[in-house]
Amino acid sequence: MTTRIGVVTFPGTLDDRDSLRAIRLAGAEPVSLWHRDKDLHQVDAVVLAGGFSYGDYLRAGAISRFSPVMETIIEQARGGMPVLGICNGFQILTEAHLLPGAMLRNNHLHFICRDQKLRVENAETAWTGDYTAGQEISIPLKNVDGRYTADERTLDELEAEGRVAFRYVVDGDAADGAGNPNGSLRDIAGISNAGGNIVGLMPHPEHAVEPLVGTGRTDGIPFFTSVLKKLVNA
């Protein structure tokens, strides 16, 4: 049986197509999910893709979080279904309180779009198993609300439990994609829940899956092969 991975389209989602494509390239069956449909159509995992759902009105992710499809996703994610939130998807996951903390306007107030260097801090989540801990990757980053914030106690807890999944690589040449791009606390680029099935990050792995397009790098593909392997072996 093929593994089915869903991608949600909200009004204003931009990266659903690229996410569906990345899933197909990784060898799973991509399934389009609609924000008003509670039914997840027997998918084994879900990707919340990037974009500007509901125009980022009120706060990024604040309105999408209450959509019908999210009711089912929140329930199933709590039950262990793998969920990956990319960019706006990460913002939705924090607004839904599936991941702790919140996302704020970049400290320099500019929209940023560049290739960003990240270090994989935890290679044991459902979405990072095909990386090795400490590995450095480079994938596109494009947002204006990317500054990760949480209180000190939450940050300490995330660190202690190994739930900082990705950190911005700060040492090195900015032209090379190094540096904290938005003022995120402790250089956090992505985190996971305690179970490791829910992961959210600001940079975009789905834009770095084929040598022919984009940056020419395929550093993003392990996200999708990791979850596939995890689901097949489950």
Partner 1 sequence: MARVVVDVMLKPEILDPQGQAVQRALPRLGFDGIADVRQGKRFELEVEGPVDQAALDRIHKMAETFLANTVIEDFTVKVEA
Q: Map residues 47-86 to x or -, x wherever contact with partner 1 holds by CB under 8 A.
A: -----------xx--x---x--------------------
Q: CB 46 → partner 1: shortest distance, Å?
A: 22
If one asks whether residue 1 binds partner 1 (CB under 8 A), the answer comes out as no
206 catalytic, yes or no? yes
- Residue 126 C-alpha from the chain's centroid: 12
Helix (H, G, I), strand (E, B) or coil at 188: strand
Whether residue 13 contacts residue 200, with contact meaning beta carbons closer than 8 Å, is answered with no
With contacts defined by CB under 8 A, name the span among 38-46, 100-108, 191-199, 215-223 that binds partner 1: 100-108
With contacts defined by CB under 8 A, name the span among 93-101, 123-131, 132-140, 209-217 that binds partner 1: 93-101
Interface with partner 1 in residues 140-179 (CB under 8 A): 147, 149-150
Q: Map residues 200-229 to x or -, x wherever contact with partner 1 holds by CB under 8 A.
A: ------------------------------
If one asks whether residue 112 binds partner 1 (CB under 8 A), the answer comes out as no
If one asks whether residue 105 binds partner 1 (CB under 8 A), the answer comes out as yes
If one asks whether residue 186 binds partner 1 (CB under 8 A), the answer comes out as no
Whether residue 139 contacts residue 219, with contact meaning beta carbons closer than 8 Å, is answered with yes
Q: Which candidate, 106, 183, 109, 169, places its Cα nearest to that of 139?
A: 169
- The tokens for 52 are 């500007």
Q: CB 210 → partner 1: shortest distance, Å?
A: 36
Whether residue 61 contacts residue 8, with contact meaning beta carbons closer than 8 Å, is answered with no
Please pick, among 35, 95, 204, 207, the residue that the annotation labels catalytic. Answer: 204
- The tokens for 25 are 């390239």
Q: CB 144 → partner 1: shortest distance, Å?
A: 11
Please say whether the dihedral angle defined by the alpha carbons of residues 69, 13, 122 and 194, taken in this order, is positive or negative.
Answer: negative
Rounded Cα distance between 9 and 64, Å, is 10
- Report the 10 Å Cβ neighbour count for 232: 13
> If you write DSSP's letter for every residue of 132-153 in order, what string do you get?
-TT-EEEEEEEESS-EEE--HH
87 catalytic, yes or no? yes
113 catalytic, yes or no? no
Show which residues are catalytic: 87, 204, 206
